[in-house]
Amino acid sequence: MTVLCTGYEPFGDHDVNPSGEVAEALDGRTVAGHEGVGRVLHVAFGAAEDRMADLIDEHDPAAVVATGLAAGRSAVCVERVAINVADTVGVPDNDGNDPVDERLDPTGPDARRSTLPVRETVEACLAAGVPARVSNSAGTHLCNGILYRTLALLEGTDTPAGFLHLPATPEQAATAASEGEATRGGSVQPSLPRTLDERAVELAFETALGSDGGRSPPS
Ligand code: PCA
């Protein structure tokens, strides 16, 4: 079987998006005893969710971990919930969609809970030396949207799915700082190396499925 990891292409002010790079790095790697499938999603409402539906159909994954960039956050954020709201808060998606206070699904529930073991994933990350925390808001941009739709697609199945928001990379933070006031005592945004992002995603799958994908008999 496979495990499916998605990330995103660059968007807004960001020239790179570590989430897409993490997905590409995991593609073809054995993760939690399964073949990793890593794909980069277009940052566009509708298109990204439809691609996710196609990927789930095509690969029938044992678990899904979607990821996205959350510049400014200081740790990997394991999202607990997705809400039925689409609002880009002034950062239109890459197709120019700029929803304000819309519902993702007019008839859907107000929220859907991640089906990953959220707290245990954070514990596993922290034990492995990866800064991480539970987050109670994935925002209202596309990352929240993909989590909401993925959970809807997998409702009623036993396929765990969730979302990890990733901080900026050190390179992104340095670039932003070089355009700012760091040389005059100004601040620098928090960052995390991509290798730690990759480890966090692997640990999310391992925590959900077991390190061998749940294939070894219970001892
Ligand atoms: N982050 C955005 C959308 C794409 C991405 O990488 C978000 O947090 O919603």
Please say if 165 is a catalytic residue: yes
45-80: pLDDT as tens digits: 999 999 999 999 999 999 999 999 999 999 999 999
Q: In angstroms, rounded to a whole number, what is the distance separating the alpha carbons of residues 55 and 62? A: 12
Q: Residue 215: its pLDDT value, please?
A: 60
Domain that holds residue 82: 2-209
Q: Which atom of ligand 1 is nearest to the CA of 166?
A: 6
Pick from 81-90, 109-118, 205-214: least confident: 205-214
Identify whether 159 is part of a domain.
yes
CB 37 within 8 Å of CB 61: yes
Please tell me the predicted confidence (pLDDT) of residue 149. Answer: 98
Q: Within a domain: residue 178?
A: yes
Name the residue at shortest CA distance from atom 7 of ligand 1: 143
Active-site residue (options: 165, 198, 202, 206): 165
Residue 185 DSSP symbol? T
In a domain, 170, yes or no: yes
Q: Please write the tens of the pLDDT for every residue from 31-46.
A: 999 999 999 999 999 9
Write 92-96 long-range contacts (CB < 8 A, 24+): 93/11, 93/43, 93/44, 93/45, 93/141, 93/142, 94/9, 94/11, 94/42, 94/43, 94/44, 95/42, 95/44, 95/45, 95/47
In a domain, 22, yes or no: yes
- The answer to whether 141 is a known catalytic residue is no
pTM here is: 0.96
Establish whether residue 163 lines the binding site of ligand 1, counting it when its CB lies within 6 angstroms of any ligand atom. Answer: no
Q: Within a domain: residue 219?
A: no
Q: What would the pLDDT profile of 181-206 be if each residue is shown by its tens digit?
A: 999 999 999 999 999 999 999 999 99
Is 23 contained in some domain? yes
| CATH number of the domain encompassing residue 63 | 3.40.630.20
Predicted confidence at residue 161, as pLDDT, reads 98
Looking at the structure of the chain, the number of domains it has is: 1
- 9 CA distance to ligand 1 centroid (A)? 9
215 lies in some domain: no
- Flag whether pLDDT at 14 surpasses 50: yes
**Which of 43, 89, 94 should be mutated for ligand 1, with most atoms under 8 A from CB?**
43
Instruction: Find the 130 Cα to ligand 1 centroid distance in Å.
Output: 21
| CB of 17 sitting under 6 A from ligand 1 | yes
Ligand 1 proximity of 86 Cβ (cutoff 6 Å): no
Please check whether residue 68 lies inside any domain of the structure.
Answer: yes
Going by pLDDT thresholds of 50, 70 and 90, the confidence category of residue 212 is: confident
Choosing from 13, 52, 141 the residue with most ligand 1 atoms within 8 A of its CB, the one to mutate for a pocket test is: 141
Active site residue 143: yes
